[in-house]
Amino acid sequence: MNTIKGPAIFLAQFMGDEAPFNSLDSITTWVASLGYKGVQIPSWDSRCIDLQKAAESKTYCDEIVGMLAAKGLQITELSTHLQGQLVAVNPAYDLGFDGFAPDSVKGNPKARTEWAVQQLKYAAKASQNLGLNAHATFSGALMWHTVYPWPQRPAGLVEQGFKELGRRWLPILNTFDECGVDLCYEIHPGEDLHDGVTFEMFLDEVKGHKRANLLYDPSHFVLQALDYKQYIDFYHERIKMFHVKDAEFNPTGKQGVYGGYQSWINRAGRFRSLGDGQVDFKSIFSKLTQYGYDGWAVLEWECCIKDPVQGATEGAPFIASHIIKATEKVFDDFAGTGADEELNKKILGL
């Protein structure tokens, strides 16, 4: 077993135009003061990192690592959630997702996809230059608009969709493998990889690629009524990242999983600050420790009620209090009789 590293924090939801949230230097000083030991960096935000420069310059990466080390911080992982989304976009979502792309490729789906793929490849090399072994992303979606089968899905549609998704991601996975980095898909509604079954279908298309791994976030499973604890039993060998994020699901006679087009605060399922939702984090930390997870516990803060600064402030001690120092001894060793083959034979009547 291993002791989970942490607490750490994903910076994406906290970046802003005012100090201390407007630069990597200032925001990391702030999170260090709250007791965090690691930061997960959104690679699309130029206030945090120049992704292409990080891919091309080890010196630049060493400077970032050194700046953070002086504050007692480490980079846990980079994230390409927004770029990964653009690797696979159904035309129904072109206008919505164009907002994630630079102006130079907006309105041009082919160019946008090529840009996204290159971004992921930059991220692989940047992660290597930063000494990281895992990376966070989204799978994108070609089939999400058919998630509820009405009208009826044509025969072979799903199989063809996953075949294409695998075709797009396989070269990216190979690049990550060359760089020695696990590519971790956040299993998330809105993505073609949104539960265990869809991950397995994708894994089949990439021939079980060893770099196709998982970012575990229980909040997205609470909102779709999936057993988020048993999920760990099924997929612990592929879980290489962990977002510590809370949620609650309170269905009524008026709405359930789909949320009735309501705002987040009025949905039956909504994200909450740590400790304010329904996620059983004690069991999660126990299971991950039991299975030898040796990565970081990273706060991803999202809540439609609580102020983000309060959420971040409460998050560090919450995570720290749930981290289990993995035991190095068996609790009943005091009563052990040692190893003796002849004694074992006598006990067995042999």
The per-residue pLDDT for range 100-124, each reduced to its tens digit, is 999 999 999 999 999 999 999 999 9
Report the pLDDT value the prediction gives residue 334, as an integer from 0 to 100. 64
Instruction: Reply yes or no on whether the pLDDT at 333 is more than 90.
Output: no
pLDDT tens for each residue of 182-201: 999 999 999 999 999 999 99
Q: b or e along 83-102 (b: 16 or more beta carbons within 10 Å of the residue's beta carbon)?
A: bbbbbbbbeebeeebbebbe
Per-residue DSSP letter, 143:
S
Q: What percent of the chain has pLDDT over 90?
A: 93
Handedness of CA 154, 159, 162, 163 (dihedral sign): negative
Is residue 336 very low, low, confident or very high in pLDDT (cuts 50, 70, 90)? Answer: confident
Nearest of 118, 116, 165 to residue 139 by alpha carbon: 165
- HSE-up of residue 37 (Cα within 13 Å, Cβ side): 10
Is residue 88 very low, low, confident or very high in pLDDT (cuts 50, 70, 90)? Answer: very high
Task: Note the pTM of the prediction, 2 decimals.
Answer: 0.95
Is residue 329 very low, low, confident or very high in pLDDT (cuts 50, 70, 90)? Answer: confident
Instruction: Reply yes or no on whether the pLDDT at 335 is more than 70.
Output: no
74 φ/ψ angles, rounded to the nearest 5 degrees: -125, 155
Characterise 292 by phi-psi region: left (phi > 0), alpha (psi -120 to 50), beta (else): left
pLDDT tens for each residue of 209-262: 999 999 999 999 999 999 999 999 999 999 999 999 999 999 999 999 999 999
Per-residue DSSP letter, 296:
E
Q: What is the C-alpha to C-alpha distance for residues 41 and 325, in angstroms, rounded to an integer? A: 26
pLDDT tens for each residue of 36-63: 999 999 999 999 999 999 999 999 999 9
Q: What is the C-alpha to C-alpha distance for residues 301 and 170, in angstroms, rounded to an integer? A: 31
Instruction: Compute how many other C-beta atoms are within 10 angstroms of the C-beta atom of residue 197.
Output: 9
